[in-house]
Amino acid sequence: MQLIAVPPVAEELAAEFAAAGHRLYLVGGSVRDALLQRPVSDLDFTTDARPEQVVALLKARRGPIWDTGIEFGTVGTKRGDYSIEITTFRSDAYDRVSRNPVVAFGDSIEDDLRRRDFTVNAMALELVPDGQHRFVDPFGGLAALAAGTLDTPATPEESFADDPLRMLRAARFVSQLGLTPAPRVVTAMTEMAGQLSRITRERVQAELTKLILGQHPRRAIELMVDTGLAEDVLPEVPAMRLAIDEHMQHKDVYTHSLVVMEQAIERETDGPDLVLRLAALLHDIGKPATRRKEPDGRVSFHHHEVVGAKMVRKRLRELRYPKQIVDDVAQLVFLHLRFHGYGKGEWTDSAVRRYVTDAGSLLDRLHKLVRSDCTTRNKRRAAALQRSYDSLEERIAALRAKEELDAIRPDLDGNQIMEILGISPGPLVGKAYKHLLALRMERGPLGHDEAVAELKRWAADHGL
């Protein structure tokens, strides 16, 4: 019985390599995902052919070739819809100071598989022209995959010392594949978590992003916190274990934040949303720094959304996230408490306009975050909060239909302001514009004549 459906393009490559006297193996994540019946668009191969021989074979087909990784034995190409990487057997050693291997090419598929990160990625399929492909699994990867276990081919201490990023990758596979790390893997991660600091922030961010976007990010975050990896990546998350939630309904703010992230994920409509998930996880990270015990015995976290937004900016910048992601996550954290001033619907239209304008393109995400932030076990209170937010969304919809909320601008633009007041471009124009914008937010559309009158009144008050 054939365990893996081999794409025709892989069969073609195998015939070409065999004709040149070389062996070719489908390997790593390509095999793992095929066994899990996950869609595969990137194919990874390993071979006994040396890099220059691989290049020569690919050139004979006149296809595209990428050799940016050739010093590590990797040559890339594309055939049809598949992106392909072919790597010469490796038997690397690591300097264990950086994560860079001292590249050494090998002659054995078993030795190549031994140096890989986890047993579920240390399986291969030898491709032969007659179609009688040979499954190669010297470290029990298939059994581990069936059992849902994440383990290493060598000892985890050896594997993680070679490349500490593998510890974070373990958490990523927990999130993406739902695997459970073997006890010895968890022990090694806990003992060696400090070595993750050897890895560049860019590489750490790439793994964290994949982890957050996986199917089980809560399990992965919990693993990071329990082993100490989070202290290097997101230290603000384990710090939330120290702050008791003001509603006294949760073990701590840390647990509450994980629940909010899960509830936000349930509200996603267009696939995994990195900005929403990060905002949900980090929305309360300002609480430990703002925690105060009030005279009545309650715990307060005044202005934790302001402090939290600043903390989010600092952390995501250190992780080298793009500016837009940093800005969006920080703004959601800053705004996530604004709704709680809405109360029983006593907000003015002006307040509703400001809510929409401050959220801008993030409004839909803010709706999801605020609704997800309700984790009380009191069903009556939860229902009241949801009804209140329903009311706010209804008012937003009504105002949007009447006033084009998504593009609120003053009734007069800069050119009109200069023409009416007879002034040249400069700071005064900006001040007048801001005054008219504030009036627009407060009172809604003014109309041209009223806006001109208000502008002239403002100019007179300023001695113009």
The answer to whether position 218 is within a domain reads no
The answer to whether position 269 is within a domain reads no
Query: Please, which residues have CB within 8 angstroms of residue 6's CB and are 6 or more apart in sequence?
Result: 26, 125, 127, 133
Domain match, 349 and 414 both: no
pLDDT of residue 343: 62
Domain match, 378 and 438 both: no
The answer to whether position 58 is within a domain reads yes
From 144, 169, 188, give the residue that closes a domain.
Answer: 144
Domain match, 452 and 366 both: no
The answer to whether position 39 is within a domain reads yes
Residues of the chain with pLDDT under 50: 1, 248-250
Phi and psi, residue 234, nearest 5°: -135, 70
Domain match, 112 and 135 both: yes
CA distances from 183 to 47, 189, 339 (A): 33, 10, 44
Burial (Cβ within 10 Å: 0-12, 13-18, ≥19) of residue 83: middle
CA Rg, the chain, in Å? 29
Domain match, 450 and 436 both: yes
pLDDT of residue 344: 62
The answer to whether position 307 is within a domain reads yes
pLDDT of residue 388: 85
pLDDT of residue 250: 43
Domain match, 457 and 359 both: no
Domain match, 449 and 357 both: no
Domain match, 371 and 418 both: no
Write out the H or E segment, with its range, that includes residue 149. strand 149-150
What's the rounded Cα separation, in Å, for the pair 222 and 206? Answer: 19
- State the residue range of the domain holding 413: 409-461
Burial (Cβ within 10 Å: 0-12, 13-18, ≥19) of residue 408: middle
pTM, to two decimals? 0.82
The 3-state DSSP class for residue 310 equals helix
pLDDT of residue 1: 43
pLDDT of residue 94: 60
Hunting for tokens 């002239």 — which residue is that? 456
Hunting for tokens 């968890």 — which residue is that? 186
Domain match, 375 and 438 both: no
Domain match, 424 and 388 both: no
> How many domains would you assign to the chain?
3
Single out the residue of 162, 164, 171 nearest to residue 210, CA to CA.
Answer: 171
Domain match, 392 and 419 both: no
